[in-house]
Amino acid sequence: MKICMLAAENGSIPGAKIGGLGDVVRDIPRALAGIGHEMVHEIDVVMPGYQRFAESTGAETQPPLKVRFRGETLQVAVSQLRDEDSGVRCRLLDHPLFAVGGPGRIYCNDPPERPFASDASKFALFGAAACQLLAEDRLGEVDVIHLHDWHAAFAAMLIRFDPRYALLGDARLVVTIHNLAMQGIRPFAHDDSSLDAWFPGLNFKRKAIADPRYPDSFNPLRAAINLCDKVHTVSPAYAREIRKSNQPEIGFHGGEGLERDLQRAHRAGRLSGILNGCEYGEPDLALPSSEELFDAARQQVFHWLGDGPQVESAHFIALERLAQWRERPPAHWITSISRLTPQKTALFEVAMGNDRTCLENILAELPPDHVFVLLGSGDAEIEGFFTHCAARYGNFLFLKGYSEPLSQTIYAIGSLFLMPSSFEPCGIGQMLAMRSGQPCLAHRVGGLKDTIENNVDGFTFTGRDQTHQAAAFVRKFRQALSLKRRSPGRWEDICRAAAARRFSWENSAREYCLQLYGGLTVKSEARSDLL
């Protein structure tokens, strides 16, 4: 079986990962290759090079592609990286449009009045270029074309509606939803970032690809859900949640407007929830010292400072805090590592009855020798909220930025990892923390529900709305700290149970073959009745 994956991120290339999508695109191809010749023969990943990653060592240039886009023929560069251990190949497609936010920048923050405008044009060209690559047989005949999230979804639409790519429809089309909250919606026409502008004259079936809330707009993720043979999401619990409607009044995230399509996919047996895995190498037994974390954090903050023309207040406060703590190093680290988006952090900001936010209540619960360190970046407003708290609370360190080496030290040093996500398709952060023997305190939703067993290998909370969830979060935090203080033996058992959990990529890879790739005897049998 030959599989080709299309994705925006890939953690196997330094700098080409933003979140869990990058972890999955790094790990699942290796796991699929690892389950051997009985099922998978070859696996290729195709992604944009963002005018940076083709410079990676070992990248080999291949002949460019000619791609029809916006009524012109564009030249798209191609290069290849090969992972010698697994044999997985990564094709990097490149064009100046892929670096619209600057070289190496994967996503742009488009202004709220033009959401996804730059990214959608970039990924529309990526989809067209990937189809061209496949149609020219540059990867040989592939059995499965596996799309990751809305960024890759344009390929499904072109394969189904552009006669030049119709033959690619003989392969099985699979889409993985890593996060349903991001759908890449753009107008059908009258905008330079619209379906008509990218692919003029395309004869598409509107009812399969229009957004249900904005009928004048094209929804790439909905298109992939309706046009692919199989729809996959990254945990069984999330696969159930997304078949229900959102309930904003209680903070419930379900199908994000696409629940009817997902219900239809479920009824047709096209929807699967398969849990992501985690890499387990040799355990690193050495616990980093506080000194090591101080040094790593200080060095990283200096690098971030060097990236901008002015001193950012978050970095200044972080350096001050690190200097204070160096004098009296904390004994216990409560930790969190996350993109800063409402999905991940809304509960921290909930105002509670005592005129304090949930985060302030969490900080008030900390015994004197405990501190809370948060590594993350994202929405400017959320960064502002954490910076404001960091300036006022001496037991809180906010490291505003992205750093994989620092994240590794924080996973290793932490005593308790906080993950109060409002919804969570799978979540990799909790798996990485557990791998280091750090139990998690998490909201019992989506993949967090499928990976953490309350009071056995971690702690979970739930509540009927955001206010109750925030109260339950603080309550559970208090209980967890009390257990740690009063019953060190039980606490150790929980840490050991967390470290012993195994979320195996090999199992996931086998389930991919069974549930998504279907042994490949059956072809395209179940597509949506909207076609």
Residues that bind ligand ADP (CB under 6 A): 19-21, 23, 337-339, 375-377, 402-404, 407, 426-429, 432
Nearer to ligand ADP (CB atom), residue 134 or residue 431:
431
- The whole-angstrom separation of Cα 215 and Cα 82 is 43
Q: Write out the two tokens for 29.
A: 């191809």
DSSP 31-74: HHHHT-TTT--EEEEEEE-TTTGGGSTT-EEEEEEEEEETTEEE
At its nearest, how many Å lie between ligand ADP and the CB of residue 337?
5
Other CB atoms within a 10 A radius of the CB of residue 48 amount to 30
- The whole-angstrom separation of Cα 262 and Cα 173 is 16
Nearer to ligand ADP (CB atom), residue 215 or residue 384:
384
- The whole-angstrom separation of Cα 529 and Cα 116 is 28
Nearer to ligand ADP (CB atom), residue 121 or residue 276:
276
Nearer to ligand ADP (CB atom), residue 33 or residue 431:
431
At its nearest, how many Å lie between ligand ADP and the CB of residue 510?
21
At its nearest, how many Å lie between ligand ADP and the CB of residue 400?
9
At its nearest, how many Å lie between ligand ADP and the CB of residue 429?
4
Nearer to ligand ADP (CB atom), residue 144 or residue 318:
318
Kindly tell me the number of DSSP H helices and DSSP E strands found in the chain.
20, 17
Nearer to ligand ADP (CB atom), residue 17 or residue 270:
17
Pick from 194, 228, 165: nearest CA to 70: 194
Q: Which residues contact 163 (CB under 8 A, 6 or more apart)?
A: none
DSSP 348-359: HH-B-TTSSBHH
Burial class (CB in 10 A: 0-12, 13-18, 19+), 57: exposed
At its nearest, how many Å lie between ligand ADP and the CB of residue 78?
28
At its nearest, how many Å lie between ligand ADP and the CB of residue 234?
8
Nearer to ligand ADP (CB atom), residue 54 or residue 509:
509
Dihedral angle of Cα 142, 146, 150, 156, to the nearest 10 degrees: 40
At its nearest, how many Å lie between ligand ADP and the CB of residue 399?
8
Burial class (CB in 10 A: 0-12, 13-18, 19+), 287: exposed
